[in-house]
């Protein structure tokens, strides 16, 4: 193998570049991450199981994963709409709107957190109109969904947008010529092409929402069993010097994150195969 590379590569620096990449990756990412796995392995199964299935922990999974699912669903619908409108329709200030979509990437989570909490608080810009309707957003699970929707917003738009840009107009023309209504064309021709990207965006938004901390804790209210997210529970355990408990819960979250990552890779493989057909 080595000989093969030496014979074909004209460019210098392969060994150095790859060597440094692997070294830096191991030092900064792999070594520290392995600390979680080794720490978990040192726990007995009973301790681990008790830590990850305590009622308060189970309630936090329900809240975190449930809210993340609902927010990713919201983003799936509105992200698809946003990408569609940005690519297909003429509207003034499109460039600025397009740039603004990335705001949740660029705005630090703590800033997003206090701002959303201020807006949706009972005396806030939106909260004061929702409160009389009996709709409480800040300091309830609904607030968690709002914060997760905010931070997940760019993922769906940015994964679906390039696919819409590349859509071949001929397919839609053919469908229209064959007598399809616009809705039939969308459902039968456009949506199947967009589906892998849409699901990837959904999964990315979901994964980000599950791990999110900064933008949620200010608006969540953080009531145990009601509005306490799993990342906050890890911090609480750490503050009580319960490193074993914190690590056990972290392992569950890491496992979920890797599952989602695997799912995304599968989707991309699927969409590549779809594109080749």
Partner 1 sequence: MKSWETTGGGKKKSPPKGLTEPAAVRWALTCTVLLFLGFFLLLPLAAVFSQAMEKGMAAYLAAVREPEAVAAIRLTLVTAAISVPLNLFFGVAAAWAIAKFDFPGKSLLLTLIDLPFSVSPVISGLIFVLLFGLQGWLGPWLASRDIQILFAVPGIVLATIFVTFPFVARELIPLMQSQGKEEEEAAIVLGAGGFATFFRVTLPNIKWGLLYGVILCNARAMGEFGAVSVVSGHIRGATNTIPLHVEILYNEYNYAAAFAVASLLALLALVTLAVKSFAEWRGRTG
Total number of residues that touch partner 1 (CB under 8 A): 94
The region of 51-59, 135-143, 160-168, 254-262 touching partner 1 under the rule CB under 8 A is 254-262
Nearer to partner 1, 58 or 85 (CB): 85
In angstroms, give the least distance from the CB of 55 to partner 1. Answer: 21
User: Does residue 109 contact residue 151 with C-beta atoms inside 8 Å?
Assistant: yes
Residue 185's nearest CA partner among 194, 168, 173 is 173
In angstroms, give the least distance from the CB of 109 to partner 1. Answer: 5
Dmax (CA) of the chain: 75
Nearer to partner 1, 131 or 172 (CB): 172
Asked whether position 111 contacts partner 1 by CB under 8 A, the answer is yes
Q: Angle, to 10 degrees, between the axis of helix 243-276 and the axis of helix 31-41? A: 120
- Residue from 1, 7, 46, 277 binding partner 1 (CB under 8 A): 1
In angstroms, give the least distance from the CB of 51 to partner 1. Answer: 14
Asked whether position 164 contacts partner 1 by CB under 8 A, the answer is no
Dist CA 165 CA 88 (whole Å): 8
Torsion over CA: 243, 248, 152, 147 (sign)? negative
Separate counts of helices (H) and strands (E) for the chain: 16, 0
Residue 152's nearest CA partner among 63, 65, 79, 254 is 79
Asked whether position 226 contacts partner 1 by CB under 8 A, the answer is no
Which residues inside 134-153 make contact with partner 1, applying CB under 8 A? Answer: 149-150, 153
In angstroms, give the least distance from the CB of 47 to partner 1. Answer: 15
Residue 202's nearest CA partner among 107, 71, 105 is 71
Asked whether position 182 contacts partner 1 by CB under 8 A, the answer is yes
In angstroms, give the least distance from the CB of 50 to partner 1. Answer: 19
Which residues inside 191-220 make contact with partner 1, applying CB under 8 A? Answer: 207, 210-214, 218
Q: In the stretch 56-95, what mask flags binding to partner 1 with x, by CB under 8 A? A: ----------------------x--xx-xxx-xx-x---x
Asked whether position 116 contacts partner 1 by CB under 8 A, the answer is yes
User: Does residue 273 contact residue 202 with C-beta atoms inside 8 Å?
Assistant: no
- Residue from 16, 44, 46, 133 binding partner 1 (CB under 8 A): 16
Burial 243-275 (b: 16+ CB within 10 A, else e): ebbbbbbbbbbbebeeebeeebeebeeebeeee
Asked whether position 253 contacts partner 1 by CB under 8 A, the answer is yes
């Amino acid at each position: 193998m080595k000989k093969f590379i030496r014979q074909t590569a004209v460019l210098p620096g392969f060994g150095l570049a790859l060597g440094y990449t692997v070294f830096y990756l191991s030092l900064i990412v792999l070594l520290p991450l392995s600390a979680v796995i080794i720490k978990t392995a040192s726990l007995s199964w009973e301790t681990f199981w008790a830590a990850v299935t305590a009622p308060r922990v189970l309630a936090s999974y329900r809240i975190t994963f449930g809210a993340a699912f609902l927010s990713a669903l919201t983003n799936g619908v509105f992200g698809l709409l946003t990408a569609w409108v940005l690519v297909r329709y003429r509207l003034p200030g499109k460039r600025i709107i397009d740039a603004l979509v990335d705001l949740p990437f660029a705005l630090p989570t703590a800033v997003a957190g206090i701002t959303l909490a201020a807006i949706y608080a009972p005396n806030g810009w939106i909260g004061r109109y929702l409160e009389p309707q009996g709709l409480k957003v800040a300091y309830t699970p609904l607030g968690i969904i709002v914060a997760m929707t905010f931070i997940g917003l760019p993922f769906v738009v940015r994964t679906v947008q390039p696919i819409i840009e590349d859509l071949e107009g001929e397919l839609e023309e053919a469908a229209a010529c064959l007598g399809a209504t616009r809705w039939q064309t969308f459902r039968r021709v456009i949506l199947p092409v967009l589906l892998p990207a849409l699901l990837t965006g959904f999964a990315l938004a979901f994964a980000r929402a599950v791990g999110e901390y900064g933008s949620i804790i200010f608006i969540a209210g953080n009531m145990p069993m009601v509005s306490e997210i799993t990342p906050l529970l890890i911090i609480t355990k750490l503050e009580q010097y319960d490193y074993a408990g914190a690590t056990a819960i972290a392992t569950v979250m890491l496992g979920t994150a890797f599952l989602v990552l695997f799912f995304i890779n599968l989707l991309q493989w699927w969409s590549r195969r779809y594109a080749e057909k």
